[in-house]
A and B are shown apart, each in its own frame.
Chain A
Amino acid sequence: MSARLLSLTAALVAASAGAQSENLRTFTEPPHNMFVEFKLGPYKPLVDRESSLTGQPYQEIFGGSSMLLFELEFDVILWEKFGILALGFSGGYASKSASALVVGGANAGQPANDSTSLRVVPLRILGVYRLDYPVTHWNIPFVPYGKVGLVAEPWWASKGGSVENANGANGSGTKFGYCFVGGLALMLDFLEPRMAKDFTVDVGVAHSYIFAEYVFENVNTFGKRGLDLSSRHFMYGLSLEF
């Protein structure tokens, strides 16, 4: 697997260096202002790790499968010299639905006709650093980056189409936490430099990337008791630099 990755990397570097008679940034670019990212990934909250739980409610209801999380992120560029420093804002949505479980009687624990769901809306404020030195100086189209930020995550659990209440508690709220993100973006300009320049001139998109990133987040209101929406997951997406 790693050998394949190395081969692919070498091929990309060779392609970027050999196929381009012109540097990726040899023409006059307009000043960069922001990044826009569209991304998807599997999100599975670590609900079941709450210490007071005697069972695994997420596993029992949803079978342990992940939600599909969609996120949209805007990064406002604040400083651009040795790399790019930006302030990011992102919002996303994920949901998971399944059958509720019968309570009591001979069929206890069996799937009921009622449906139940968990929905989350992770909102983040991020400090972002992108190391674009390899692109600007060596024509290597990879941009490693890191993000650190705060998370606010409204959530609600419903049953039968309305928010579920249980034992006097309301099945909705907001959890807070923090996150660390590390990722690698592949600049796509080298695939078709002329089109990339046209994209810059006509649309204002200076560069476009595909990327993968790993998200480490603790979203349990900084260790308070209650629902733990922390997660460790990958996200994949497309990034546009304006």
Chain B
Amino acid sequence: MALGLLPPRLPMRSFLAAVYLLACSSAAFGQQITIMVDGYAQVSTNDCNSVHQVTWTMTLPQVQVCSGPTFWITAASCGDGPVSPDFTLTPLPLQSDRQGRFTTPALSQFPGFNGADGGSPCGGRFNLTHYVCGSVKYSTIACGTSGDTTLRAAAPGIIEYRGKPPDPPQTPDLTALDSALQVGWGSPPADAVTIRVYMREAGSGVAFAPKVDVSTSNSNVKVGGLQNGTTYEVYLTALDAAGNESDPSGTARATPVASAGFFGTYKQEGGQEQGGCGGLIPGALSLPLIFSGYRWLRRRRSCPRDS
């Protein structure tokens, strides 16, 4: 039996994973459940209306199917069959079916998101893992006897709802540069994959605007194109892989300062250098001359001394 998930509108939808598992309990007789999950994904609060494709296949040679196969979605462990409030996928397959395909309901209808069952609605700031399970009851003798066996998928499909955003980053550490600020954040929060830098001119009254997104593999970023002498306010947020954005960090302020490096100081003090290769042409012309001299000397050295 095989199960597949295809979350087509998710941030990680391009990511395809395949997991194959053999159910060892029946391997000796050739019965096996193979679960294949396409598009294992983390989904965010923006994906509550998304639907997912599930495909399955099943191998059961030389046995009699007593009931099922049955497929369902649960927020708990899979077990041998669906229990309340699990969601059974329909239409139910025929006992003769060995492969098939389902389209799940919208994510918001998954178990665990139903208030009547004690769950919280999709979109809330919490994490919840859903499993797509499958099982079949068969017998190698006759159904209804002690030979009945339930075969279930040991590795279910997974849809991981990530509604809880990361903790906010620490207040940014700002370093004033020439027409720029260097923004540092030390260690990023757990689960964060991106740091988003928000900035505005201090006292301008305008809203903060996202300036740049940076991978958490970095610990700082240089934001350029700023006005020297103008004070800027900066705060950070952290984003996880599902796209959840944290609360803002504390706000820091800094003012870019004009500076002159070695060449700027040199020019300020009257240096005449214009850069480039002013003498490149005479330099290049001398090279063939030197090379010719080298060839001439080598030839003389290789000749017999009396020649």
Contact = CB atoms under 8 A, between A and B. Distances in A.
Interface residues of A, number: 58
Interface in A44-63: 47, 50, 52-58, 60-62
A173 B271 contact: no
A226 B263 contact: no
Of the candidates B180, B263, B275, B300, the one having the most CB atoms from chain A within 10 angstroms of its own CB is: B263
Contacts of B280: 174
Interface of B: 175-178, 180, 182, 222, 229, 257-280, 282-283, 286-287, 290, 293-294, 297-298, 300-301
Given A114-B177, A227-B271, A221 B259 contact: no
Contacts of B268: 55, 57, 166-167
Contacts of B287: 125
Contacts of A118: 262-263
A66 interface: no
A91 B125 CA distance: 62
Q: Is the interface of B mostly helix, strand, loop or mixed?
A: mixed
A18 interface: no
Nearest to B179: A160
Nearest to B265: A57
A57 B266 contact: yes
Contacts of A165: 263
B149 to A, nearest CB: 67
Given A78-B298, A150-B286, A114 B261 contact: yes
Interface in A79-125: 79, 85, 87, 98, 100-105, 107, 112-118, 125
Contact of B301 (A55, A78, A224): A78
24 contacts: A52-B271, A53-B269, A53-B271, A58-B266, A61-B261, A61-B265, A78-B301, A79-B300, A100-B262, A100-B264, A103-B258, A104-B258, A114-B177, A152-B283, A157-B266, A159-B262, A159-B264, A165-B263, A167-B268, A171-B261, A172-B276, A174-B277, A176-B279, A221-B278
Given A57-B269, A171-B275, A174-B279, A116 B258 contact: no
B259 A103 contact: yes
Contacts of B229: 105
A127 to B, nearest CB: 9
A58 B268 CA distance: 12
Of the candidates B175, B180, B259, B290, the one having the most CB atoms from chain A within 10 angstroms of its own CB is: B259
Given A58-B262, A164-B264, A176-B282, 6 more contacts: A76-B298, A78-B297, A170-B274, A172-B276, A176-B283, A226-B273
